[in-house]
Amino acid sequence: MFLTSVAYASAEHGASAPLFYIGPLEVTSEITTMWGVMIFITVVCILGTRNMKRIPSGIQNVLEYGIEMYENFFSDILGEKRARQFMPILASFFILILCSNYSGLLPLAGTAPGLKPPTSNVSTTGGLAIVVFFLVIFYGLKTKGLGYFKHFIEPVPILLPINILEQFTRPLSLALRLYGSIYGEEMVVASLAALVPLVLPLTMQILGILFGAIQAFVFTLLTAIYLEEATAVHH
């Protein structure tokens, strides 16, 4: 049901026309922008981790400070041990979504072929949400074994259908929240640009910096909460 909803929404809203094809696969502006985002993140990571020093400086210093701050924050939610365990996953989500959101702030984004925020397409946000869905199940089973499924009948077995429904609505909520925010912002900026070419779109671009970071943070925070619930062991 979730996959069908995402596919239908993608076909109706936010999907770009194909730029070219690789065999049967369509390559859209969102895909080419995502490739650019991944290349950018890879280059920054390489530059930040080559010639690493005991006393960091430059990009290494910025990266280590960001990682430490991020880890300290999620330690309050997950505990220190699980925060370290899930840090690579959570940081990857945050950085990828943040850079994808910010790609919409580039000049001609959304109008030039090959340049459109990946998160303005529900297929992208749906894919990220599906990854979270299966990650939660995987780590829940890894931590608790089959006992993971016990929470579906808690606090009383009669709530089983509701708990199952909640499990499937989580990725749908994650996908649509992120997609709606970025796609909506893109449409507002485009409309204002046609009415007032400079002042209002510039203001929205500034607000977009804030909204892009908030949406990346919210997605990552909810992922951390879901992982905490799935892996918490009560004695």
Convert the pLDDT of each residue in 85-133 to its tens digit: 888 899 999 999 999 999 888 877 777 788 888 998 898 999 999 999 9
Tell me whether residue 110 is in a domain: yes
Mean pLDDT to the nearest integer, 207-223: 88
Rounded CA gap, 167 and 143, in Å? Answer: 18
pLDDT of residue 194: 64
Token pair listed for 165:
């429904």
Burial class (CB in 10 A: 0-12, 13-18, 19+), 46: exposed
Tell me whether residue 88 is in a domain: yes
Rounded CA gap, 70 and 49, in Å? Answer: 18
Per-residue pLDDT at 21 exceeds 80: yes
Domain containing 40: what range? 2-138+168-230
Tell me whether residue 40 is in a domain: yes
Tell me whether residue 155 is in a domain: no
Per-residue pLDDT at 8 exceeds 60: no
pLDDT of residue 115: 86
pLDDT of residue 183: 80
Rounded CA gap, 148 and 229, in Å? Answer: 10
pLDDT of residue 232: 79
Tell me whether residue 159 is in a domain: no
pLDDT of residue 114: 84
Q: CB atoms < 10 A from the CB of 37, how many?
A: 22
Rounded CA gap, 17 and 127, in Å? Answer: 19
Are 77 and 228 in contact by the 8 Å Cβ rule? The answer is yes
Tell me whether residue 162 is in a domain: no
Tell me whether residue 66 is in a domain: yes
How many domains does the chain fold into? 1
Mean pLDDT to the nearest integer, 44-57: 77
Tell me what the pLDDT averaged over the chain comes to. 81
- β-strand pairing of 25-27 with 20-22: antiparallel
pLDDT of residue 95: 92
Rounded CA gap, 30 and 115, in Å? Answer: 7
